[in-house]
Amino acid sequence: MEKIKPLLDRTSKKLEKSSSASLIEAGPTEPRSENQAVEAVAEPTDGYRSESAPDHVDAINQIFAEFEFAYHNQYHKAFANAESLAIAKKYWLSSLENYLPTQIVKAAKRVIRSQDYLPSIAAVVRACEEGFDLFGLPAPRAAYVEACSAPSPKRAHRWSHPAVYLAGQATGWYTLANEAEAVAFPRFEYHYGELCRRVMHGEDINLPVPEALPQKTERPLSATERRARIAKMKKELGL
């Protein structure tokens, strides 16, 4: 818990701001109109909009805003005042700190689309754990099987995602083909996990571009040409 203290402090500071400066605020005990609920999600503050990617505090604020819109009555019943909302946000933040902010937001959106009731932390955690496909990525085990079974030339294979090819390349095709799974899979999983984190951070990962063929193609000399060249060199050297 010590390492998330700065994040918790930031959450507390954001929650203490006025409603005009906060992405979402504790809802009133009286239900708001539908238009007001839409505004809470559709019109975040300029400070939030200006950031290229959310941090963990932003992610928690955003998913709570979407919870409020999607589960309006349940939301205000669960978080009837600012204090209960602040405690809930801090607890969610500490429970989801190991996941990327973009991963948290995408997972929460998936849960909202599939659940009729206000989600639990466990539901969002499961969505984060199983949410590789939210970014077009196969799960680590499926990626490993694909890398092991891809035919040569590897570059020509139709990969489900470039990260699978790059993880296989980093692990070593020989390792994947010859080492036991107990040895090869942890290595592959490490490289694949690093690549997945880059994708989830918004980086575009592409397959390496093959080198262009040279304009002139060298061909080996015939036996006659080799003898003629040797004779020429001897003559030039006076041998």
> What local confidence, expressed as pLDDT, does residue 13 receive?
56
Instruction: Give dist(CA 193, CA 131) in Å, integer.
Output: 13
Low-confidence ranges of the chain (pLDDT < 70): 1-54, 210-217
24: left (phi over 0), alpha (psi -120 to 50) or beta: beta
Chain centroid, CA 142 distance in Å? 17
> What local confidence, expressed as pLDDT, does residue 121 receive?
93
> What local confidence, expressed as pLDDT, does residue 212 receive?
64
According to DSSP, residue 217 is labeled -
pTM across the whole model: 0.52
SS3 228: helix
> What local confidence, expressed as pLDDT, does residue 35 receive?
43
Environment class of 41 (CB within 10 Å of its CB; exposed 0-12, middle 13-18, buried 19+): middle
> What local confidence, expressed as pLDDT, does residue 19 receive?
37
Environment class of 173 (CB within 10 Å of its CB; exposed 0-12, middle 13-18, buried 19+): middle
Length of the chain: 239
> What local confidence, expressed as pLDDT, does residue 59 receive?
93
> What local confidence, expressed as pLDDT, does residue 215 receive?
65
Which residues touch 136 (CB under 8 Å, ≥6 apart)?
161, 199
According to DSSP, residue 25 is labeled -
Task: Determine contact, residues 103/134, Cβ cutoff 8 Å.
Answer: yes
> What local confidence, expressed as pLDDT, does residue 217 receive?
62
> What local confidence, expressed as pLDDT, does residue 29 receive?
38
